[in-house]
A and B are shown apart, each in its own frame.
Chain A
Amino acid sequence: KAGVTQTPRYLIKTRGQQVTLSCSPISGHRSVSWYQQTPGQGLQFLFEYFSETQRNKGNFPGRFSGRQFSNSRSEMNVSTLELGDSALYLCASSLSGASNQPQHFGDGTRLSIL
């Protein structure tokens, strides 16, 4: 069974640009969550999607947005990039997003802002 796939693995952007990250969940998983990982702040929850609807959102500015498609694949968009957005962005999937279900993570997209 294929795991969670994130593309691209690495991205280099400059301030002010925008970026789109992609995540393909495990087959059959309908919940997709996104996290930002930085050395200073650790792992922080961005948002969660289920059946193309955002059900939960973390404490990030509106520049961070996402969407989910009917096949459960998800994208995350960051607009007007800032230096502080440099991070590893992790996607995770689970069957339905229930609290007792483990989340399965991809290897992440490393975003560097110059």
Chain B
Amino acid sequence: GDSVTQMEGPVTLSEEAFLTINCTYTATGYPSLFWYVQYPGEGLQLLLKATKADDKGSNKGFEATYRKETTSFHLEKGSVQVSDSAVYFCALSRGGTSYGKLTFGQGTILTVHP
């Protein structure tokens, strides 16, 4: 079945450091890929998405490129801020009869220190 694997956390960085959170997936066909962020006590917020190979999603300085050859969708940010501290989830959505279903990775906790 479908699966998403994220790098083990937690990740601790200093402000203005470079961030990479690795995400790889297993799925049949051509899934759409997403990154969501969850702040304490809240639901998930969409960070960015990519719906086909080589697409680059970007938002608020975060970027991720859909790499079909390596089945990856790594999240990057050039300079993190304290306010980026949160839990980040990589997810995929497959077409066909898999309506409304997101398959999530286990989440990566990011803590950014001043």
Q: Select one of B42, B43, B46, B101 contacting A56, CB under 8 A.
A: B101
Chain-A contact segment, one of B12-20, B74-82, B87-95: B87-95
CB contact list, B38-59 vs A, under 8 A: 41-46, 49, 51
CB distance from A99 to the nearest CB of B (A): 4
The answer for the CA separation of A55 and B95 in the assembled complex, in Å, is 13
Q: Are B43 and A45 in contact (CB under 8 A)?
A: no
* Residues of chain B contacted by A49 (CB below 8 angstroms): 100
Interface presence of A16 (CB below 8 A): no
Interface presence of A31 (CB below 8 A): yes
CB distance from A80 to the nearest CB of B (A): 25
Question: A4: nearest residue on chain B (CB-CB)?
Answer: B43
* Residues of chain A contacted by B99 (CB below 8 angstroms): 31, 48, 50, 55-56, 97-98
Size of chain B's interface in residues, with CB distance under 8 A? 27
Q: Are A45 and B107 in contact (CB under 8 A)?
A: no
Q: Are A58 and B101 in contact (CB under 8 A)?
A: yes
Q: Are A102 and B101 in contact (CB under 8 A)?
A: no
CB distance from A14 to the nearest CB of B (A): 24
Q: Select one of A56, A100, A107 contacting B51, CB under 8 A.
A: A100
* Residues of chain B contacted by A42 (CB below 8 angstroms): 104-107
Interface presence of B98 (CB below 8 A): yes
Q: Mark B21-41, 1 if CB is under 8 A from A, else 0.
A: 000000000011010100001
Top-8 shortest CB links A-B: A48-B100, A105-B43, A97-B100, A43-B104, A33-B100, A99-B93, A99-B95, A97-B99
Listed A/B pairs (23) with beta-carbon separation below 8 Å: A6-B43, A31-B99, A31-B100, A33-B102, A42-B104, A43-B89, A45-B103, A48-B99, A48-B100, A48-B101, A92-B100, A92-B102, A94-B100, A99-B51, A99-B94, A100-B95, A102-B34, A102-B46, A103-B46, A103-B102, A105-B36, A105-B44, A107-B42
